[in-house]
Amino acid sequence: MKVNERPIVRAEGLVKQVDGPSGPLTIVNDVSLQVFSSESVAIIGVSGSGKSTLLALLAGLDIATEGIVWLNGQCLDALDEDGRALIRARQVGFVFQSFQLLPGLSALENVLLPLELAGRDRADDRAREFLDDVGLLNRAGHYPSQLSGGEQQRVAIARAFAVEPSILFADEPTGNLDNETGGRVADLLFRLNREKGTTLILVTHDPALGGRCTRAMSISDGRLSEIEG
Amino acid sequence: MNPWFMAWRMLRREWRSGEIRIVLLALIVATAGLVSVTALGDRLDQAFEKQGSALIAADLVVRLPNPPPDNFIARAGRRRLAHTLATNFRSVVLYEDQTLLTDVKAVRPGYPLRGELSVSVGAGGSRTVSGPPRRGEVWVDTQLLARLGTTVGRGVKLGRKAFTIAGVITLEPDRGGMGFALAPRVMMNEADLEATGLIAPGSHVHYRWMLAGATREVGAMRQWLQEHGVAEGELEDVRNARPRFRVALDRGARFLSLAALVSVLLSGIAISRATQYYARRHWDHAAIMRCLGATQSEIARIYLGQLVVLSLVGGLLGAGLGYVAQQALVWILPAMVGVDLPLPSYKPLLVGLSASLLAVLGFGLPAVARLRDVPAMRVFRRDIGAVPPRVRVLYGVAALVITGFVFWLADEAELALWILGGTAATLLLLALAAVTMIKALSRWRGGLGASWRFGVGSLVRRGSSTVAQTVALGIGVMGLLLLTVVRTELFNAWDDRLPPETPNHFLVNIQSNQVADLERFLERNGAGVARLTPLVRARLAAIDGRPVEPDDYEVGFARRMVERAANLSWLEVLPDDNKLVAGQWWEPGQWDKGLVSVEQDYAAALGLSIGDVLTYRVADRTFDVRVVNLREVSWDSFSPNFFLIVPPDLLDGFPQSHITSFHLPAERGDMIARLIDQFPNVTDIDIEAVLRQVMRLMDRVNWSLQFIFIFALLAGALVLIAAVQTTRAERRREIAVLRALGAQKRQLRLGLLSEFAALGVLSGLLGAVAAGLIGWGLAQFLFDIPYRWSAGLWVIGLLGGGAGIAVLGYLASRPDIEAPAWRLLRQSE
């Protein structure tokens, strides 16, 4: 652990409870963690362990019942929804298990979307560069339904990196892909992560994928513990 | 980021995906329907006014005590209005040693400005003439010839000047009227007036200054005249001069408004369903954009921007289409229209564009507002929170905006209230029925077969969207039924009131000793059995003991009513075409009491109310009557009607005359000459021209309704399609899973058919109930015509609704049944 450096992501005593049919259900239970710049951290857990909810809390997509999250030194609890959106627009990228491409937009337009939302210059050129980076420039005009699962996830990765975020959150990025395609997509994700110097927080059920990160933690019943490697 | 620019770009991209096309289509249909209906209505209205103008020989008549001053004439010239003057007075005509009191009308070149004046000269038949007779000549009516026993070519003397009778007036456009003491007509050239020496200061002369021109200019002139001291009551146009025509005109306009309103509401509901569907399909998009850093206000502006662009594009395209459609119709079917239709004003375009914007914002905004509140967490959990309060406020605002719009469009609060109230009640009824049905189905479905259980189960599972779907479908069915079955029934009921044998002639001044002979004459000549109604002519002398003078009244109508003698008739029971609006009708025991029943407009003009005592004078006798009730008269029934009715025995012993009306077929036109010959004192009033105009007007209204119906039908179909479409994504997912689990196509087909048939039967039934109730309300309270409940309504609603919706729903979902299961599964991910 880098003691002298300020963490880029920090959480203290995170708790998330939801109302279930038989009373409140604790999904994330007293989680504290620190992630430093350029680290790649895996959060490994089985289905229903609370890993996706934790990711959403860290990224400011959801609000914790208790506890505090800081992103790049900014306390998320002090911000309203629009304030958190601004941080996401400038500093955060996402890769999802189910890709979450907009079906009405072509591959290029999907990559363009966050650039336009962030009001970046030369958006079109940048989108093309990133599509080229993931090897799909020749499919720029294709719609998600015309692309295979692996190709869709590569477009999603291009979209995530296009705004050059300082932190990238990945939720089971290979979960919907076969082993071979999943392996290639993971290669791409880690290569870009290295090249761009992005901090990566990845949640997965796959210990092999988790093992490719510089640090791994496990989550079970909403409790997080460090895996010593 | 500029959200408006983003909105434009995203809209352009999404166009290709096809989802917004149904929204745009609904918008185009709504706007096109509204614009074409409003434009056509506007043009027909102008054309009706022009036709009606033929009944008063001008677009506007100004009654003046003196010839129009120079500034009036200059103003008319600046407004490019044609104008002419008719000078009317009563004078005695001298023929050999006989004298006869006549109505003299001196006209100038240009008369009549509208309609036709026909004169018959000898055996050559009638010909249409324009302008006055030549100097030294007069035209007269058959009654004058009959009463004086003279013929064309003979001489008569009027004042100091001698004239030759040069022709017989067979049609005088502005004669009409219902003052039952018409004297025979003499029409002369105004240039001869001075030579007669009849017009001197203090003579009782009425000037009718006639104007005609473009509708807008006439309207402006009318306003200018009122601003320059001419009282409203002295201005006469077809609306106030011919109550029969006005009633028909107003009723026709109501029919058009009704159809337009229903088609707008239907399109609105289609737009609402389509935008909700659009918004629902974009929940994921909004969530992803939130993840990518879009703020709530950016999302709101992006989608609002899309709506605004959509409404402008849809509005413009729809308005263009609407204009082209109504113009095309006017070109294709000139025979149906029968007259040159003036070009529509700019109003329809304005109405169309604002309707498009309001429809999208009013019906679509609440759905889109929810997009703003889609949580970013939706990317992980596919759920969305309850409707936040702000959206409820938006729905409220939308309802208000739509209410205001309907009121503006209807031009008449009562019609707007009926349509809005009917729609709101239908919505409530449908929602309640749908909830009840879902509860009942969830209890009973266990006893059904597998396919039916799946179909009906789908309805139960999608509880809230089933309710929304039933409501939309029911409203769609209601609107369609209202415009087809109910409209036809309402229109037929109206049409039935003017059967082919509607009276087209009135006979007045029939003396009591002529009644039997005249009845026989009419029967012998095939004019049917005519009812002769007695009347006493009396002058109003006092109200509650206070003497009444014409000068007490400024307004033309009231003043004229006091100036001339009123016709009082007596009846035992209230006639069918009259309705009591206040007070009670008399009992047999009151038949000799001094009571009077007063027509409500007459009462209003003279400021009369129940309990007032009126004193009337007949020659040197007076009698008092107390107002016991007020009546509303259906002037469009074309039967003799009276402002004043008294109990049957009250006026025994007063000098009385009779009137009657009858239908004279065109081929028996010569009967009138023989009638006048045999009963020279009787005056014939030919209302064939008014009747013909009213019938032509009804034809045109009916024709326009057929046209509007095309758009309403499209709007109704769009509602149904949009309602079916909204659950398609959900249904596709279910079908995919069921197919993967081994369900047979046949089972799925049956399931879908049973689901949509259940929906269809329910919405068809409820739609029919609602259409029937609204139709009854409209007939009873607004159109004032009898309404017949029709079995057709229920049959069409139930079978048509059930089968139509089942087939439509099945067709919309068929591709999902036929597509390979694996593709469906992928699409539904």
Q: Find, in chain B, the residue whose alpha carbon is nearest to that of A116.
A: B1
Q: What is the pLDDT of residue B806?
A: 84
- Cα separation of A157 and A170, whole Å? 9
DSSP helix/strand/coil, B796: helix
Q: Which residues of A touch B376 (CB under 8 A)?
A: 56, 61-62, 85
Quote the CA–CA distance of B471 and B757 in Å, as a whole number.
15
State the residue for tokens 């473009």.
B214
Do A105 and B13 count as a contact with CB atoms less than 8 A apart?
Answer: yes
Nearest-CA distance B752 → chain A (Å)? 26
Write down the pLDDT at residue B386.
46
pLDDT score for B124 = 63
What distance lies between CA A52 and its chain's CA centroid? 10
CB contacts, 8 Å: A117 with chain B: 1, 6, 289, 292-294, 298
pLDDT given for residue B166 in this prediction: 92
**Average pLDDT taken over every residue of chain B:** 79
Q: Please tell me the distance in Å from B815's CA to the nearest CA on chain A.
A: 17
Q: List, in order, residues 6 or more apart from B258 with CB less than 8 Å away.
A: B415, B419, B487, B778
Q: For residue B218, what are its two tokens?
A: 């006439």
Q: Give DSSP secondary structure letters for B157-200.
A: EETTEEEEEEEEEEE-TTT----TTPPPEEEEEGGGHHHHT---
Specify the DSSP element, H or E, that contains B257: helix B243-281
A31: left (phi over 0), alpha (psi -120 to 50) or beta: beta
Cα Dmax for chain B: 111
Distance, in Å, from the CA atom of B423 to the CA atom of B265, rounded to the nearest integer, reads: 9
pLDDT tens sequence across B691-732: 776 677 677 777 776 766 677 777 777 777 777 776 777 777
**Which positions in chain A touch B827 (Cβ < 8 Å)?**
145
- Least CB–CB distance from B295: residue in A82, A90, A96: A82
Choose the closest CB to A88 out of B13, B284, B293.
Answer: B293
Residue with tokens 């997912």: B733
Chain B residues inside the 8 Å CB shell of A163: 293
Q: Which helix (H) or strand (E) holds B16?
A: helix B3-17
**A69 and A60 Cβ atoms separated by less than 8 Å:** yes
- Which residues in chain B land under pLDDT 50? 178-181, 386
Residue with tokens 């002398």: B541
Nearest-Cα distance to chain B for A61, in Å, is 6
Contact B539, B616 (CB under 8 A): yes
The residue of chain B nearest to residue A106, with distances taken between CA atoms, is B13
Alpha helix (H) residue ranges in B55-192: 70-78, 142-148
**A contacts of B285 (beta carbons < 8 Å):** 102, 104
Amino acid at site B154:
R
Residues on A contacting B at a C-beta cutoff of 8 Å: 52-53, 56, 59, 61-62, 81-82, 85-90, 92, 94, 96, 98, 100, 102-106, 109, 113-114, 116-119, 145, 159, 163, 171
Do the chains contact at A88 and B295, CB–CB below 8 Å? no
The answer to whether residues A82 and A119 touch, using CB atoms and an 8 Å cutoff, is no
Give A90's contacts in chain B (Cβ within 8 Å): 293
Task: Report which residue type is found at A23.
Answer: G
Summarize pLDDT for A80-107 with one digit per residue, the tens.
888 888 888 888 998 888 888 887 788 9
Q: Residue B549 and residue B555: Cα distance in Å, rounded? A: 13
- A138-170 pLDDT tens trace: 999 998 888 998 899 999 999 998 988 999 999
- Cβ-based interface (< 8 Å): residues of B facing A: 1-2, 6, 9-10, 13-14, 16-17, 19, 284-285, 288-298, 375-377, 379-380, 826-827, 829
Task: Indicate yes or no: CB of B293 within 8 angstroms of CB of A87.
Answer: yes
Q: Residue B120 CB: number of other CB atoms within 10 A?
A: 17
pLDDT at A4: 53
For strand B595-599 and strand B621-633, is the pairing parallel, antiparallel, or unpaired?
parallel
Which are the contacts of A141, defined by CB distance < 8 A and separation ≥ 6?
Answer: A106, A107, A108
Say what the pLDDT of residue B387 is.
57
Chain A positions in Cβ-Cβ contact with residue B6 (cut-off 8 Å):
116-117
| Spatial distance between the Cα atoms of B35 and B322, rounded to a whole number of angstroms | 5
* Closest-CA distance of chain A to residue B365, Å: 21
**Measured between beta carbons, which residues in chain A are less than 8 angstroms from residue B295?**
81-82, 85-86
CA distance B618 to A35: 111
pLDDT of residue B170: 78
Calculate the alpha carbon distances from B577 to B503, B631, B693 in Å: 14, 10, 21
Residue in A105, A106, A113 nearest the CB of B292 = A113
**Per-position DSSP letters for chain A, written without gaps between them:** --TTSPPSEEEEEEEEEEEETTEEEEEEEEEEEEE-TT-EEEEE--TTSSHHHHHHHHTTSS--SEEEEEETTEEGGGS-HHHHHHHHHHHEEEE-TT----TTS-HHHHHHHHHHHTT-TTHHHHHHHHHHHTT-GGGTT--GGGS-HHHHHHHHHHHHHHT--SEEEEESTTTTS-HHHHHHHHHHHHHHHHHHT-EEEEEES-HHHHHTSSEEEEEETTEEEEEP-
Look at B290 and A85 and tell me if their CB atoms are within 8 Å: yes
On chain A, the residues whose CB falls within 8 A of the CB of B288 are 100, 102
Whole-model pTM: value is 0.67
User: How many DSSP H helices and E strands does chain B contain?
Assistant: 28, 22
- Nearest residue on chain A to B827, alpha-carbon basis: A145
Q: Which two tokens stand for residue B625?
A: 């009557």
Confidence band of A3 (pLDDT split at 50, 70, 90): very low
CA B712, CA B562: separation in Å to the nearest integer? Answer: 50
Q: Are strands B533-543 and B566-570 parallel, antiparallel or unpaired?
A: antiparallel
CB within 8 Å of B410: residues ≥ 6 apart? B257, B261, B416, B419
